[in-house]
């Protein structure tokens, strides 16, 4: 039995809001007073602040992370018959965006240590149909971008980075994820490290022409008003989201540090349990890379994972499985002909991993309770 039983939700956004209420409410009130809901000074201000934060020339607010991906691929001309290379072990939005444009996913299996696309297998996946390389910085840790970019340059392929889980994460050479490839795509879904009060996202780039094209496509391809140069859609971020996000952005680095401290504490607590070798695998950090721990992923034997999840839930500890079915085995892709065994590392990860609470407001007592409850189960 853990020394103290405490409830530990997977994520506690109420705890975060308590600390921000007095800063957020006046900003939201101001948006209502101005009645400027679409575009306007809050959205412009947020875009400037995001560009500065990421070290990019352009940040373009979008309606969601999914729309940021869809719009980026669309603006790069991805369409029927094209292939986009990505990981099968990601949130569905990554691959859904490819498929919705009529293109095909060309999957590269993950590195089991980082759960990110295994760059060593990338070049073999390139064909004459390849249009874009789409790495996903899963769980908040950068893909090994230096060799990836070398391959992209060699084959003259644009790179779209899925940074939905990696805002502020840096690669081993210090470069910010999303500022390395051609375009970066971020999400403000509430569970991301920078979460809005609803849906939102943004696209970042240093390419002036692409930034302009994406801005126009974001608003029905309209330039000037009611003259439609390009096909586009409504992919806009609204001012209420921008107002909330501007307040939260000021705290983001402190939250990253809080998550990293929690990860370090978990490592110490697991080490102190002295579980037999191989019982649990903690997340690996690539040397020099700055991991922002959107998720803290534990790997256990496949036969134990589901029972451990139940045990934790029945003890008031929130956990989640990201993701139980890799993308190539999703029902909607049945006609693509992928089968079990095609991407064994992704399939293994889907059976062996679970995410623990890692949000910055976790207390020492909660962290100890999580680790003790896991250790108690794994010993039994």
Contact by Cβ (8 Å): 54, 179:
yes
Q: Which two tokens stand for residue 233?
A: 């859609």
Of 71 and 371, CB closest to ligand PLP: 71
Report whether 292 contacts 193 (CB < 8 A): yes
Choose one: 73-81, 121-129, 158-166, 210-218; the region binding ligand PLP (CB under 6 A). 158-166
Of 77-85, 143-151, 159-167, 365-373: span binding ligand PLP (CB under 6 A): 159-167
Binding residue (CB under 6 A) for ligand PLP from 47, 118, 162, 238: 162
The site string for ligand PLP over 330-369 (x = CB under 6 A, - otherwise) reads: ----------------------------------------
Q: Which two tokens stand for residue 130?
A: 């390849």
Sequence-distant (≥ 6) Cβ neighbours of residue 376 within 8 angstroms: 1, 2
Q: Whole-number minimum distance, CB 162 to ligand PLP, in Å? A: 5
Residue nearest to ligand PLP (CB): 65
Question: Three-class SS of residue 24?
Answer: helix
Output the DSSP codes for 264-298. HHHHHHHHHHTPPTTS-BPPP--TT-B---S-EEE
For residue 90, state whether it binds ligand PLP (rule: CB under 6 A): yes
State the nearest-atom distance from the C-beta of 66 to ligand PLP, in Å.
3
Q: Which of 50, 76, 119, 136 binds ligand PLP (CB under 6 A)?
A: 136
Binding range to ligand PLP, per CB under 6 A, among 61-69, 242-250, 282-290, 358-366: 61-69
Place of tokens 């789409």: 134
Total chain residues near ligand PLP (CB under 6 A):
15
Least separation, in Å, of the C-beta of 240 and ligand PLP? 16
Q: Of the candidates 116, 141, 165, 373, which one interacts with ligand PLP according to CB under 6 A?
A: 165
Give 83's strand partners: 104, 130
Q: Residue 340 gets which letter from DSSP?
A: T
Residue 115 as a binder of ligand PLP (CB under 6 A): the answer is no
Dihedral angle over CA of 329, 332, 334, 335, nearest 10: -140
Whole-number minimum distance, CB 322 to ligand PLP, in Å? 8
Minimum CB distance to ligand PLP, residue 2 (Å): 31
Stretch that binds ligand PLP, among 62-70, 111-119, 149-157, 257-265 (CB under 6 A): 62-70
Q: Which residues contact 135 (CB under 8 A, 6 or more apart)?
A: 86, 87, 116, 117, 143, 145, 148, 159, 161, 162, 181
User: Is 69 in contact with 184 (CB distance < 8 Å)?
Assistant: no
Span interacting with ligand PLP, options 91-99, 306-314, 325-333, 341-349, rule CB under 6 A: 91-99
Binding of residue 164 to ligand PLP (CB under 6 A): yes
Contact 356, 266 (CB under 8 A): yes
183-187 and 201-205 strand pairing? antiparallel
Q: What residues line the site for ligand PLP (CB under 6 A)? A: 64-66, 90-91, 93-94, 136, 162, 164-165, 187, 189, 199, 201
């Amino acid at each position: 039995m853990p020394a103290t039983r405490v409830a530990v939700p997977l994520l506690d956004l109420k705890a975060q809001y308590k600390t921000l209420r007095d800063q957020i409410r006046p900003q939201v009130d101001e948006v209502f007073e101005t009645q400027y809901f679409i575009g306007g000074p809050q959205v412009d201000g947020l875009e400037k602040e995001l560009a500065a934060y990421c070290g990019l020339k352009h940040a373009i607010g979008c309606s969601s992370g999914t729309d940021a991906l869809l719009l980026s691929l669309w603006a790069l001309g991805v369409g029927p018959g094209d292939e986009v290379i990505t990981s099968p072990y990601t949130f569905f939005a990554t691959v859904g965006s490819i498929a919705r444009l009529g293109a095909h996913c060309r999957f590269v299996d993950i590195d089991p240590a980082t759960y990110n696309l295994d760059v060593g297998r990338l070049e073999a996946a390139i064909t004459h149909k390849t249009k874009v390389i789409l790495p996903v910085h899963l769980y908040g840790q950068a893909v090994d971008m230096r060799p990836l970019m070398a391959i992209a340059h060699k084959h003259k392929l644009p790179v779209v980075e899925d940074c939905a889980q990696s805002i502020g994460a840096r690669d081993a050479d210090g470069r910010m994820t999303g500022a390395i490839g051609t375009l970066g795509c971020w999400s403000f879904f509430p569970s991301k490290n920078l979460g809005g009060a609803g849906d939102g996202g943004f696209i970042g780039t240093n390419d002036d022409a692409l930034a302009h094209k994406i801005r126009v496509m974001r608003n029905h391809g309209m330039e000037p008003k009611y003259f439609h140069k390009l096909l586009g859609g409504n992919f806009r971020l609204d001012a209420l989201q921008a107002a909330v996000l501007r307040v939260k952005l000021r705290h983001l680095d402190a939250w990253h540090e809080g998550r990293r401290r929690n990860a370090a504490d978990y490592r110490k607590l697991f080490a102190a349990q002295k579980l037999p070798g191989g019982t649990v695998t903690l997340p690996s950090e690539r040397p020099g890379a700055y991991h922002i721990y959107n998720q803290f992923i534990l790997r256990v034997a496949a036969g134990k994972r589901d029972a451990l999840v139940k045990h934790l839930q029945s003890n008031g500890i929130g956990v989640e499985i990201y993701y139980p079915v890799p993308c190539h085995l999703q029902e909607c892709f049945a006609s693509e002909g992928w089968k079990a065994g095609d991407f064994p590392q992704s399939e293994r990860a889907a059976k062996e991993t679970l995410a623990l609470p890692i949000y910055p407001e976790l207390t020492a007592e909660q962290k100890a309770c999580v680790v003790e409850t896991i250790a108690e189960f794994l010993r039994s």
